[in-house]
């Protein structure tokens, strides 16, 4: 078997709990599994709502190479001013043409392999974004031909739309995967073309919660149907991620594996 690029994709990192879990486990994972590249969704890094330079730096410092984003991209207003400063940040390619930042990036591994990461956002139940299918065509046209892997984060609510993107990019991307729902799916597959697919990586955060938020506040909003402030759970996070082995000569995925690291203690 030819030498492969070992890549770890981490789902939505939610708040302090998710950041704390990754600080504890990611450096060891990188070392033990000889990972070449790590990409994570960072739209919930800061208390569950957006990201900041400070919390992003925490992730870059422990081995994350690229942070993708989603519908909470601008929750921290300061990020509007800083997203252009670092090409390790990407935001959905099909945001408004007036949005700062970039929809794709190419980063190089220590071994010299070039990994392209594209970020998209869905339209179904998500808002009036531009067409993600047109946007990904633009990204693929702009990305240099010499990349060794192409990863596509499809930040979307509907599994059908995510699957549609997976088939649309069949044979053209190394891995198409979903983020946003905070619920991991067990439908990982490698198509005959060599493109891997998974509907949602899952959240890296506390599952003793309602998608990472404290139960009382989230449940009160559902039952009473009145505005309620959401607060992120700060302890007891699980890590959900997916590991890939990609052949750099073909960009094909040759192996895929879901990874789950539960919390040491379940909250009472």
Which residues does the annotation mark as catalytic?
72
Instruction: Give, in degrees to the nearest 5, the angle at Cα 118 between 186 and 11.
Output: 35
Residue 128 phi, psi (nearest 5)? -90, 65
- Residues with Cβ < 8 Å from 77, sequence gap 6 or more? none
Quote the CA–CA distance of 229 and 214 in Å, as a whole number.
10
Q: Print burial letters for 1-11: b (CB count within 10 Å at least 16), e (below 16).
A: eeebbbbbbbb
- Residues with Cβ < 8 Å from 129, sequence gap 6 or more? 92, 94, 95, 121, 122, 123
């Amino acid at each position: 078997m030819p030498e492969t690029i070992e890549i770890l994709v981490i789902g939505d990192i939610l708040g302090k709990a998710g950041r704390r879990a990754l600080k504890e486990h990611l450096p060891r994972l990188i070392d033990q599994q000889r990972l070449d590249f790590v990409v994570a969704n960072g739209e919930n890094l800061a208390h569950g709502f957006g990201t900041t330079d400070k919390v992003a730096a925490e992730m870059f410092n422990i081995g994350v190479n690229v942070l993708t984003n989603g519908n909470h991209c601008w929750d921290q207003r300061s990020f509007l001013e800083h997203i252009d400063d670092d090409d390790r940040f990407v935001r959905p390619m099909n945001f408004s043409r007036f949005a700062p930042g970039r929809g794709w990036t190419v980063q190089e591994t220590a071994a010299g392999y070039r990994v392209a990461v594209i970020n998209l956002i869905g339209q179904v139940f998500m808002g009036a974004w531009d067409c993600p299918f047109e946007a990904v065509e633009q990204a693929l046209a702009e990305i240099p031909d010499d990349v060794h892997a192409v990863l596509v984060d499809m930040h979307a609510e509907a599994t059908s739309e995510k699957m549609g993107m997976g088939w649309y990019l069949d044979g053209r991307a190394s891995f198409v995967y979903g983020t946003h729902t905070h619920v991991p799916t067990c439908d990982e597959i490698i198509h005959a073309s060599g493109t891997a697919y998974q509907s949602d990586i899952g959240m890296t955060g506390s599952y003793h919660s309602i998608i990472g938020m404290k139960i009382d506040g989230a449940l009160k909003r559902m039952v009473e149907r009145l505005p309620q402030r959401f607060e992120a759970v700060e302890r007891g996070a699980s890590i959900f991620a997916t590991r890939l082995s990609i052949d750099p000569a073909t960009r094909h995925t040759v192996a895929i594996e879901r990874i789950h690291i539960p919390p040491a203690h379940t909250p009472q």
